[in-house]
Chains A and B, each alone.
Chain A
Amino acid sequence: MTVPTPTPAPVAPVTTHPAAAVVARGVGKTFRTRSGEVVALEGVDLTVAAGEFVSLIGPSGCGKSTLLRLVADLDEPTSGELTVFGKPPRVAREGQDYGIAFQQAGLLPWRTVRANVELPLELHGVGRRQRAARATELLEMVGLGDFAGHLPGQLSGGMQQRVAIARSLAERPSLLLMDEPFGALDEMTRERMQTELVRICAESGAAVLFVTHSIPEAVFLSHRVVVMSARPGRISQVVPISLAATASRTDGTREDSAFFADVTAVREALHGGATAARGVDLR
Chain B
Amino acid sequence: MTGGRYRALRATAYGIAALLLFCLVWELVKAVVPAAGVHVLGASVLPRTDDHAMPHVWDVVARMGRSETSARGADSVLVAMGKAGWFTLRVALAGWLVGVVAGMALAVLMARRRLAEAAVLPWVVLSQTVPLIALAPLVVGWGGRIHLGAFEWQRWMSVAAIASYLAFFPVAVGALRGLQSPTPAQTDLFRAQAAGWWRTLVSLRLPASVPYVVPALRLGAATAVVGAIVAEVSTGAPGGIGRLIISYAQSASGDPGKPWAAIVAAAALGLVAAGLVGLVGLLLRRYRYAEVSS
B-contact 0/1 string along A95-118, CB 8 Å cutoff: 010101011111111100000000
Closest to B200 in A: A123
Interface contact tally, CB-CB below 8 A: 71
Q: In whole Å, how far is A211's beta carbon from the nearest beta carbon of chain B?
A: 14
When the two chains form their complex, are residues A153 and B287 in contact, meaning their CB atoms are under 8 A apart? no
Residues in A neighbouring B137, C-beta threshold 8 A: none
Residues in A neighbouring B204, C-beta threshold 8 A: 108
| Residues A152 and B292 in contact in the complex (CB < 8 Å), given A106-B183, A108-B186, A108-B207 | yes
Residues in A neighbouring B293, C-beta threshold 8 A: 157
When the two chains form their complex, are residues B294 and A100 in contact, meaning their CB atoms are under 8 A apart? no
When the two chains form their complex, are residues B290 and A96 in contact, meaning their CB atoms are under 8 A apart? no
| Residues A94 and B192 in contact in the complex (CB < 8 Å), given A105-B185, A109-B290, A153-B289 | no
Q: Is B191 an interface residue (CB 8 A)?
A: yes
When the two chains form their complex, are residues B289 and A124 in contact, meaning their CB atoms are under 8 A apart? no
When the two chains form their complex, are residues A160 and B286 in contact, meaning their CB atoms are under 8 A apart? no
Q: Is B52 an interface residue (CB 8 A)?
A: no
Chain B residues numbered 279-294 whose CB sits less than 8 Å from any CB in chain A = 286-287, 289-294
Q: Is A61 an interface residue (CB 8 A)?
A: no
Chain B residues numbered 210-243 whose CB sits less than 8 Å from any CB in chain A = 210
Residues in B neighbouring A153, C-beta threshold 8 A: 289-290, 292
Residues in A neighbouring B188, C-beta threshold 8 A: 72, 74, 100, 102, 106
Q: In whole Å, how far is B20's beta carbon from the nearest beta carbon of chain A?
A: 37
When the two chains form their complex, are residues A109 and B193 in contact, meaning their CB atoms are under 8 A apart? no
Question: For this complex, into which size category does the number of interface residues on chain A fall?
Answer: 20 to 34
Chain A residues numbered 181-239 whose CB sits less than 8 Å from any CB in chain B = 184
Chain B residues numbered 81-106 whose CB sits less than 8 Å from any CB in chain A = none
When the two chains form their complex, are residues B192 and A100 in contact, meaning their CB atoms are under 8 A apart? yes
Residues in A neighbouring B207, C-beta threshold 8 A: 108, 110
When the two chains form their complex, are residues A106 and B194 in contact, meaning their CB atoms are under 8 A apart? no
A-contact 0/1 string along B241-260, CB 8 Å cutoff: 00000000000000000000
| Residues A107 and B292 in contact in the complex (CB < 8 Å), given A102-B185, A102-B188 | yes
CA distance A160 to B291 in the complex (A): 13
When the two chains form their complex, are residues A105 and B192 in contact, meaning their CB atoms are under 8 A apart? no
Q: In whole Å, how far is A265's beta carbon from the nearest beta carbon of chain B?
A: 32
Q: Is A151 an interface residue (CB 8 A)?
A: yes
CA distance A56 to B184 in the complex (A): 21
**Which of B185, B189, B190, B291 is within 8 Å of A109, CB to CB?**
B291
Residues in A neighbouring B199, C-beta threshold 8 A: 123
Q: Is B127 an interface residue (CB 8 A)?
A: no
Closest to B187 in A: A106
CA distance A102 to B204 in the complex (A): 17
Q: Is A161 an interface residue (CB 8 A)?
A: yes
Of the candidates B189, B199, B210, the one having the most CB atoms from chain A within 10 angstroms of its own CB is B189
15 CB contacts below 8 A, A to B, read A72-B188, A93-B191, A96-B193, A103-B185, A105-B292, A107-B294, A108-B208, A110-B207, A110-B210, A120-B193, A123-B190, A151-B289, A153-B290, A153-B292, A161-B294
Chain B residues with a Cβ under 8 A of chain A: 183-186, 188-195, 199, 203-204, 207-208, 210, 286-287, 289-294
